[in-house]
Amino acid sequence: MGTCTVCGTSTDGPICDTHQEDVLFDFRGDRANQLTDGRFYRGVVDGYADFGVFIDLSPRVTGLLHRSKLDKRLESLDWEPGDTVCVQVTNVRDNGDVDLGWSIRQTDREFRGVLIDEPEGDRLADEENEENEEEPEADSGNASEATDPATTQQESDAATATDPDPSVATDHDDASEEPDEATATDAHDGEPEDVETEESDDISTEAPVDTENETTAEAATTETDQTDDAGAVQVEAATEDDEPAAVERVAIDSLRDHVGSDVRLEGEVVSVRQTSGPTVFELGDESGVVDCAAFVEAGVRAYPDIETGDIVRLDGEARVRRDELQVETETLVELTDGERETVESRMQEALDAEAAPDAFKPLAADDAVAAARDGIESVATAIRRAVFASRPVVVRHAATTDGYVAGAAIERAVLPLVREEHTSADAAYHYFDRRPLEEGSYGMADATKDTSRMLDNQERHDEKLPLFVFAAAGSTEDSTDGLEMLDIYGVDSVVVDSLAIAERTEELATATATVPERTAGTVGANVAAAVNDDVRADLGHLPAVTFWENTPDVYAGLAADSGIDAEAAGQLREAIALEAFYQSYEDKRELIIDLLFDQEVGLAASVSEQFTEKLDAELRTAEENLETRTVDGTEVSVLDMDAYTHRYDFPPKFLLLDTLFRRHRDETPVVVGYGTDELYVRATDADLDGIAAAAADSAPNAGIDVKAVRVGKLSFLSGRREEGVDAVLDATVDQL
């Protein structure tokens, strides 16, 4: 029993529960589950991604400070790799991922003390200093080899990354004692050196020679093209005259069979990132991707001539670091001419075979989906090819129930493939992203933002250009400007939708899959099954969630087989719609997973109840103020949305108009809602482009144009509102 360093109350350690957040902790553990949620820890900036900053809390534990947790824009953060910072641990996930929070306190003096957090318990930092003062100098014959208690986190990280372990022969009083074999490696060029000729101020150059090992080395022979039990190819290498020992070329997916051994890898450099310690080359071959650490000195770029896309040969030692596979690089050379062509050919053949999905089998016996088989298989192949070529996959989808379900289905299929392909724990963040589009159209504003981000990632992280997947988005004419922007930079895109694909979109997209008789969520779920058949069982209920009415029996039955009846499907539909409205530009990955896949008890029902309350309140006001007009003998319903809706509250205007139309279409076949300079049209089989063209001819000065086909939105000049509304009503009735 001790006393709290802050308040003096009795406690089991140096800090009581009340004051856990008042002190700063230095973490000395090697596993994420040894951290304590809520505590503030000292860490070292490891590197940046477009979604946040990676912070090393210890040499083996790294956390992510997401950009949403910062009190400023990520681009304005002045941290550099290697900087010591203070962060708060907000969550440690079951898979070992660590979520970090921002700390306004960034110096020791801003906390009420510093404690050591180690697996055995907490202790005062002063106790460590006292122990180090009492500890005798290490008996190694070399004072500089003694442990320095002031070793920084940066030095620790660098040492762990390279793991130099030379045992240097020294003079001993006991002549019968055999010295260890000495080996040294230059981390820059990877060439071994003879330690008998290495000079140092602290190490004697007259150390005794291990004659037994020397004799063995002289007798060694050259081994060529032998194959071991793990399928590794023995590469020719001499072991005499101080040449390095034979190295095995292995496939990356077999590295776990070679941990602790020297290996040779041949493949493509997928990315390069500079940490506070080593340079990390992400290397991919025909079987997978692995991080390879090369160390010159802390924070200095190793092999500066090697860039993303180079075909290389890398020799090093396979190790496990932070519970992840990693290769400690000894030599790295770029391949040219015939050697390069051999490796490229091997990788291309493997990519072609791996990217092609198995014969597509629809989720249900649905002729409409079966008719789109070729498009679904083409989209699935493009997605799989991007994953296995280590290209990021970016899903852009409408911020609607249909869009979220389509995007989440593809996410469900792609993430396991990414994790299988890449050994690093943060690969799911680097190689997959899902970003909602508020109105389902991909305009220049969205394309400019995406282009800026991908070019920045290419410049800062040597990241490949991504594949864009448009789900319930991108198919209509109002998205062609954005798609053309991507096309300028040679970026591939695919489209998954239920709307007809515009002619220009067909020209720009790599592949398209659309089923007009169904929802985009239905198509997206089938694409997901084609991408990764292992997740098929997770997808069966998704199509039923996306139908607001007239759910096809085949999908209602499929959902029921998954344990989702009509009521539960309705609750999920409404819950997704409500959550899609809030923070519409955020993917809300964990929340969507909880709703759609993990089926958190009571979550969908609770959110659905809020959906109903908010929608009903808005509907009561709207229906009381619906205006009925007669246009060419047809009664239509018109709502002034500026006057009779809450502009920034749920529901969004398109969802309100959808509900009004379903309620009143038997009485009035057209429902129109208008605001200051925008107008929403609801009519059976309405051709919005045709309506806009006819209305523009009728009112040429009103500036009538299509704003977003997916949500039935037109725009006009506010000063010509009455003229514009009348022209649209006339054109809509004429089209009936």
Least confident among 109-113, 409-413, 693-697: 109-113
pLDDT at residue number 8: 77
pLDDT at residue number 246: 57
Query: Looking up tokens 């396991």, which residue turns up?
Result: 416
CA separation for the pair 285, 294 (Å, rounded): 18
Average pLDDT over residues 584-588: 84
Tokens of 641: 């949305």
pLDDT at residue number 574: 96
Average pLDDT over residues 33-57: 91
Q: What is the pLDDT of residues 439-460, one digit of tens each?
A: 889 999 999 999 999 998 888 7
Four-way CATH pick for 356-609: 3.30.870, 3.90.1640, 3.30.70, 1.10.3470: 3.90.1640
CA separation for the pair 271, 284 (Å, rounded): 9
Say whether 233-336 and 2-132 share the same fold. Answer: yes
Task: Answer yes or no: are the C-beta atoms of 37 and 89 closer than 8 Å.
Answer: yes
Q: What is the pLDDT of residues 659-672, one digit of tens each?
A: 999 999 998 999 99
Numbers of helices and strands, H then E, in the chain: 22, 30
In this model, does residue 462 exceed pLDDT 50?
yes
Instruction: Identify whether 651 is preceded by a cis peptide bond (ω within 30 of 0).
Output: yes
Q: What is the pLDDT of residues 506-539, one digit of tens each?
A: 999 999 999 998 999 999 999 999 999 999 999 9
CA separation for the pair 484, 250 (Å, rounded): 42
Least confident among 69-78, 190-199, 310-319, 719-728: 190-199
Tokens of 594: 């909880």
pLDDT at residue number 194: 38
**How many angstroms separate the Cα of 683 from the Cα of each of 282, 467, 625, 628, 642?**
53, 35, 19, 15, 21
CA separation for the pair 269, 307 (Å, rounded): 7
pLDDT at residue number 45: 92
- 2-132 under CATH 3.20.20.210, yes or no: no
pLDDT at residue number 601: 65
The mean of the pLDDT values for the chain is: 83
pLDDT at residue number 390: 87
Q: Where are the alpha helices (DSSP H) in 110-257?
A: 125-134, 153-162, 211-219
In this model, does residue 191 exceed pLDDT 60?
no
Q: What is the pLDDT of residues 279-314, one digit of tens each?
A: 989 999 988 899 999 988 877 899 999 998 899 999
User: Nearest Cα to 403, choosing from 376, 438, 431?
Assistant: 438
pLDDT at residue number 205: 35
Percent of the chain with pLDDT over 90: 58
Q: How confident is the model at residue 153 (pLDDT cuts 50, 70, 90)?
A: very low
Q: How confident is the model at residue 127 (pLDDT cuts 50, 70, 90)?
A: low
Task: Answer yes or no: are the C-beta atoms of 126 and 135 closer than 8 Å.
Answer: no
3-state secondary structure 426-462: CHHHHCEEEEEECCCCCCHHHHHHHHHHHHHHHHHHC
Compute how many other C-beta atoms are within 10 angstroms of the C-beta atom of residue 342: 13
Q: How confident is the model at residue 580 (pLDDT cuts 50, 70, 90)?
A: very high
pLDDT at residue number 128: 55
pLDDT at residue number 296: 86
Number of residues in the chain: 736
In this model, does residue 721 exceed pLDDT 70?
yes
Per-domain residue ranges for the chain?
Answer: 2-132, 233-336, 356-609, 625-735
pLDDT at residue number 421: 84
Task: Tell me which CATH code domain 233-336 carries.
Answer: 2.40.50.140
DSSP characters for 61-110?
EEEEEEGGG-SS-GGG----TT-EEEEEEEEE-TTS-EEEE--S--SGGG
pLDDT at residue number 438: 87
414 contacts: CB under 8 Å, gap ≥ 6: 383, 387, 393, 432, 531, 532
- Quick one: DSSP state of residue 303? S
CA separation for the pair 487, 730 (Å, rounded): 38
CA separation for the pair 480, 474 (Å, rounded): 7
More confident residue, 67 or 443: 443
pLDDT at residue number 647: 79
Tokens of 563: 């344990």
**How many angstroms separate the Cα of 384 from the Cα of each of 70, 316, 450, 530?**
34, 30, 21, 10
Average pLDDT over residues 429-439: 90
Torsion angles phi and psi, residue 178, rounded to 5: -80, 135
Query: What residues does 631 pair with on adjacent strands?
Result: 634
Helix (H, G, I), strand (E, B) or coil at 369: helix
In this model, does residue 184 exceed pLDDT 90?
no
Q: What is the pLDDT of residues 368-411, one digit of tens each?
A: 999 999 999 999 999 999 998 889 999 999 999 999 999 999 99
Q: How confident is the model at residue 656 (pLDDT cuts 50, 70, 90)?
A: very high
Average pLDDT over residues 16-30: 90
pLDDT at residue number 707: 92
The amino acid sitting at 287 is S
Average pLDDT over residues 324-342: 92
Task: Answer yes or no: are the C-beta atoms of 491 and 454 closer than 8 Å.
Answer: yes
Helix (H, G, I), strand (E, B) or coil at 315: strand
Architecture of domain 625-735: Roll (3.10)
In this model, does residue 185 exceed pLDDT 60?
no
More confident residue, 712 or 104: 712
